[in-house]
Amino acid sequence: MRKVSRRHKDNIQKTKNVIYSNLEEAIASLKETATAKFVESVELHATLNIDPKYANQQLRTTVTLPNGIGKQVRIAVLTNEENFEEVKIAKADIVGNDDLIAQITQGNLNFDLLIATPNMMPKLAKLGRVLGPKGLMPSPKSGTVTTSLTETLNEFKKGKFEYKADKTGIVHVNFGKVDFTNTQLIENLTALYRSIEQNRPSGVKGKYFKNLSICTTMGPSLKLDLGIF
């Protein structure tokens, strides 16, 4: 069994049995528990009243947070050769067609996001087992299958990203870094909550949110009151 550090035990004691009903207090406590020797990410974990095995209870969408999440995203674009110059000007990190597919087939996934034009999707179908488990398969729902390449690249370069509920109905998503200001983290967290709320699946009946919590990469979970927003 992994030994729990004294630092982590102290952090758990500070937040044990506390339910935060004030965002300022929650973010302040979140930062107090960020005692690792690196700049930790901060995460929201939202348990929803959904059963993702049903199509009308699935949550998968995109959001652009006001202050980004403090991460540079490496973007690959799969498209026709006549579009190469456009996407290079738009600062795509990797551009290709059949050569890029060959690299992916060999397991060379040196990108964080893959954007594709619709005509390339049939060629990607056979790579679902490679891209799917890593969340890299382009899809119209996530905005990564598009003919508006420059616009799409600009959006994702500015911090747009996809999130979804896992198979148990929980959304796990980063909303910044502990070196963000309290105001920046509150703005990001509020925008993320609103996005989840506004994309409520049509099949949800009754209460949507079951519980909410936030934490740092190495810190304990801080429970939020459902009325905090």
1 is a domain residue: no
Say how far apart CA 229 and CA 227 lie, in whole Å.
6
Q: Residues of the chain with pLDDT > 90: what percent? A: 74
The mean per-residue pLDDT over the stretch 6-28 comes to: 78
Which CATH number fits the domain that encloses residue 86?
Answer: 3.40.50.790
Contact 212, 228 (CB under 8 A): yes
Model's pTM, two decimal places? 0.80
Provide CB contacts within 8 A for 16, sequence distance 6+: none
Structural domain span for residue 117:
75-158
Last residue of a domain, which of 108, 125, 158? 158
Is 101 in the same domain as 201?
no
pLDDT digits 0-9 by tens, 127-178: 988 998 888 999 988 889 999 999 999 999 888 988 999 999 999 999 999 9
Collapsing DSSP states into helix, strand and coil, what is residue 170?
strand
Question: How many Cβ atoms sit within 10 Å of the Cβ of residue 76?
Answer: 23
Is 211 in the same domain as 198?
yes
Beta strands 94-96 and 75-78 are parallel
Mean pLDDT computed over every residue of the chain: 91
Quick one: pLDDT band at residue 1, thresholds 50, 70, 90?
very low
Task: Quote the pLDDT of residue 6.
Answer: 59
94 is a domain residue: yes
